[in-house]
Structure 1
Amino acid sequence: MAATDAAPSTYDRTKAIKEFDESKMGVKGLSESGITSIPEFFIHPPQTLSDLRSSSRSSPGAVPVIDISGINSIADRPNIVRQVRDAAKSWGFFQVVNHGVPAPVLDDTINAIRGFHEQPHENKAKYYKRQEGQGVMFASNNDLYRTEAASWHDSLQVWMGPQPPVSEEIPEVCRREVIAWDGHAKDVADKVMELLSEGLGLEPGMFRELTFSDARTLVGHCYPHCPQPDLTLGITSHTDPGIITVLLTNRVPGLQVKHEDDWTDVDPVPGGLIINIGDFLQIVSNGEYKSVQHRVLANGMKEPRISIVEFFNLTKWKDSDQYGPLPELVFPDRPAIYRDFTKQEFLDNFYSKGLDNKSLIDRIKV
């Protein structure tokens, strides 16, 4: 019988990933090198690629845009609370405008993060590492060694709270803007959390008392041009693990949200900030608020997509080191739908694998 089997592959995926990681060049370095095809470990499985191709990228509606300029108005605040509550329950995503952050600050922050990523390789390489949890870290794909397929983005991460780094640790090219943005993003998050708390029938300051904005990580993503955007993703579909996320982005498209089984493009409005609900808030709200899948498509445009994400989580766990649905939101006719979980269980779930969708929520359902 004639031999028809193909020759065995000589591709060593582990070696290829290690060589890429140790080069410290990131995907921006690959893009700038003039490659016309992406390394194999960036290619996603057929089911993911099929989903990308089948996505109509049409919207069964649009992500809500909420004007919060009237939050201190007795007449306007109830309507704003209602809008935020409804968006958090049905979409898990919304945009806020008239949030109090001046437009020049938004532009300066985007330009500073872009400036970091556009530095020469040797300037960025000294920050390249994989020690997560504190300080400053530059890397491509924080889950590079845990995920099935890498995605086309690089990230500067700065752990801003509860123990911020010494300012000199932050790259000088964006130091002033990173420190300033942390303050602005926290102010917006605190305003939004007041509205979310009221939407649950709780006191406005309850989330602040529970330290829901004290643990903060600022991540400056860069999605450079990808020569084969139909074979990979900018970031894979996932839900955020924490309380809420505040996102500032330039106008290069790519972010999509899963809504009613369709992928919906999120088109940033001028001067707006994008807010989304995390898994932790879905749990403590006893399912009232929803964290939803979202992803970023690989960028086929020449201009890089820049996004500055600030993740908010709590620092003060309960005395028992467990968290679950808030007792104020559990009733005889609406019992707890999630069990309590520990801080270690929360951390282990996130750091043991690549980005995914609601794995902790699925694990602790009653």
Structure 2
Amino acid sequence: MNVFCASGLVDAGITKVPRIFYSPPDGFDRAPADDFDIPLIDIDAVEKNPSLRGSVVDRVRDASGKWGFFQVVNHGIPGSVLEETLEGVRRFYEQDAEAKKQWYTRDSLKTVVYNSCYNLYAAESADWRDTTYICMAPTPPNPEDLPLECRDIIIEYSKQVTKLGRFIFELLSEALNLNPNHLNDIGCADGLGLLCHYYPPCPEPELTLGASTHTDIDFLTVLLQDHIGGLQVLCDNQWVDIPPVPGALVVNIGDLLQASETTVALMNRCKKIVSLLVLNLLVVLFNIQLVSNDKFKSGQHRVLASPAGPRLSVACFFTTGMIPSTKMYGPIKELLSDDNPPKYRETSVREYSLHYNTKKDHAASALLDFLV
């Protein structure tokens, strides 16, 4: 198992990156650091002074429309919880290979799925990272089904990030001029999956990527990243760094929030989500870009490989996953008019996810294939 993990290659002492990790150039330049500024939003201001809620909603609307990304501070999750979450993930990954072997699988039906190069058979190149997916909602796993090294903190962090996610959905609903409960009422915050990434130091970072260019096929992603950095979002055909801010969480819009009227009813067991790890993840709602009819943007993003590390991150996807439903979804009707007709045809979560899974190039959003 160990030799197939990016971290296993590093442990083996390699000095050259294997060709399966080579990433083709995308032709986009890296933006000068001073030219762009990813919005940093203090959401505690809403609690301290309700009169500021309108200005916070305006900032969320602007960030979601231009970038599809913003960072939040004073979000209510203690710094100690954030730090222990990252340390719990580190403890899991830095066990010896034999101890981790019980969790290593490509069977996406399991509650905990640990592997590396999960997109090896679907993408042009493999990503330089190890990945563990844990399904936490709608039906929480039994604690004994989670790795002991991070069990307690994963459970606690999931509870707190769910509360935060529901609040962010309120702000997003208001940013769309909808009832504050609209996105929560259609189930956007009901499902939660955690994707824990471990990016080992790379001997030739210019040849590969920690995470290839993609958009997230969910409604919303809340990302906890450590101090090393490397996350970038594409804006105006330039790669813009999203620098780590102590205590901040990165929020990004998923494809489905860009475009659907409602979310599918969740499965009885979240672990029935099919092939979720094959769907090049990083921000997962049945697409906020889709349901918002492009009022919000699902930003293309990637993670650079680095000689420093390991880099740690935990991405929380608010998602219904890929479920066997024939229910159809399209842009929210309240957002449509003669001047703003639907941009996307109706589709089901299953159809969209299966289509995404067939694409080798995730740099281009699968939403383009669902335009009216």
Tell me the TM-score normalised to structure 2 length: 0.87
Letter in 1 for 2:339: D
Give the alignment partner of residue 243 of structure 1, picking from 216, 219, 223.
219
State the partner residue of 1:29: 8
Shift of 1:56: 4.7
Structure 2 vs 1, CA of residues 188 and 24 (structure 1 numbering), >3 Å: closer, same or farther?
farther
Q: Distance in 1 between matches of 2:4 and 2:55?
A: 48
Give the aligned partner of residue 42 of structure 2.
67
Shift of 1:25: 4.8
Which residues in structure 2 correspond to 1:144-155 (within 5 Å)?
Answer: 144-155=120-131
Confirm or deny: 8 A CA contact 2:16 2:203 kept in the other structure: yes
2:235 paired residue among 223, 243, 259: 259
Matched, 1:309 2:288: no
Is 2:96 the partner of 1:96?
no
Going from structure 1 to structure 2, the CA distance change for 1:123 and 1:316 (only over 3 Å counts) comes to closer
Deviation at 1:184, TM superposition (A): 1.2
Aligned to 2:168: 192
Q: CA deviation at 1:233?
A: 0.5
Q: Specify the code of the residue in structure 2 equivalent to 1:268.
A: P
Quote the Cα distance in structure 1 between the aligned partners of 2:93 and 2:360.
23
TM-superposed CA distance for 1:144, in Å, is 1.8
Runs of 4+ in 1 over 3 A off after TM superposition: 22-25, 56-59, 314-317
Tell me how many residue pairs correspond in the alignment.
340
Contact 1:153–1:235 (8 Å) recurs in 2 = yes
Match of 1:279 in 2: 255
- How far the C-alpha of 1:95 sits from its partner, in A, is 0.3
Q: Is the 8 A contact 2:214 2:365 kept in 1?
A: no
Paired residue secondary structure (1:78): helix
The 3 A distance-change label for structure 1 pair 58 and 162 is: same
Instruction: Give the aligned partner of residue 306 of structure 2.
Output: 299
- 2:174 matched to 1:201? no
Percent identity of paired positions between Structure 1 and Structure 2: 38
Q: How does 1:62-141 map to 2 (within 5 A)?
A: 62-72=37-47, 73-141=49-117
Please name the residue that 2:133 is paired with.
157
Measure how far apart 1:159 and its partner are: 1.1
What is the CA–CA distance in structure 2 between the aligned matches of 1:212 and 1:312, rounded to whole Å? 7
Compute the displacement of 1:354 (Å).
4.6
1:345 paired with 2:354, answer no
Secondary structure of 1:80's match? helix
Would you say 1:326 and 2:335 are equivalent positions?
no
Larger CA Rg, structure 1 vs 2: 1
Q: Does the 8 Å contact 1:89/1:288 carry over to 2? A: yes
> Which consecutive residues of structure 1, in runs of 5 or more, have no partner in the other structure?
1-21
Say whether the 8 Å CA contact 2:215–2:365 is kept in structure 1: no
* AA partner of residue 213 (structure 2): S
Shift of the alpha carbon at 1:135? 0.5
Give SS of 1:336's match: coil
Rounded Cα–Cα distance in structure 1 between residues aligned with 2:321 and 2:359: 23
Letter in 2 for 1:291: S
Residue 55 (str. 1) matches residue 61 (str. 2): no
* Distance change >3 Å, CA 69–CA 212, structure 1 → 2: same
Structure 2 distance, partners of 1:241, 1:186, is 18
Letter of the structure 1 residue corresponding to residue 246 of structure 2? P
Q: CA deviation at 1:133?
A: 4.7
The 1:335–1:172 alpha-carbon spacing in structure 2 relative to 1, beyond 3 Å, is same
Structure 2's unaligned 5+ residue stretches are 257-287
> Aligned equivalents of 1:228 and 1:305: distance in 2?
15
Task: Give 1:290's aligned residue.
Answer: 297
When residues 264 and 213 of structure 1 are mapped into structure 2, their CA distance, relative to the original with a 3 A threshold, is: same
Partner of 1:341, secondary structure, is coil
| C-alpha contact (below 8 Å) 2:330/2:344 kept by paired residues | yes
CA–CA distance in structure 1, aligned partners of residues 4 and 142 of structure 2: 25
After the TM superposition, which of the residue ranges 94-103 and 72-81 deviates more from structure 2?
72-81
Structure 1 residues 210 and 96, CA, compared in 2 at 3 Å: closer, same or farther?
Answer: same
Aligned-partner SS, 1:323: coil
* Counterpart Cα distance in 2 of 1:152 and 1:193: 32
Aligned partner of 1:336 in structure 2 is: 342
Contact 2:228/2:244, CA 8 A, preserved across alignment: no
State the TM-score, normalizing by the size of structure 1.
0.88
Q: Name the CA shift for 1:27/1:320 in 2 (closer, same or farther; >3 Å).
A: closer
Q: Which piece of structure 1 moves more, 192-201 or 176-185?
A: 176-185
Any conservation in 1 of the 2:254–2:298 contact (CA below 8 Å)? yes
Structure 1 CA distance, aligned partners of 2:332 and 2:109? 27
SS, match of residue 160 in structure 1: strand
Cα separation, partners in 2 of 1:194 and 1:315, compared to 1, 3 Å: farther
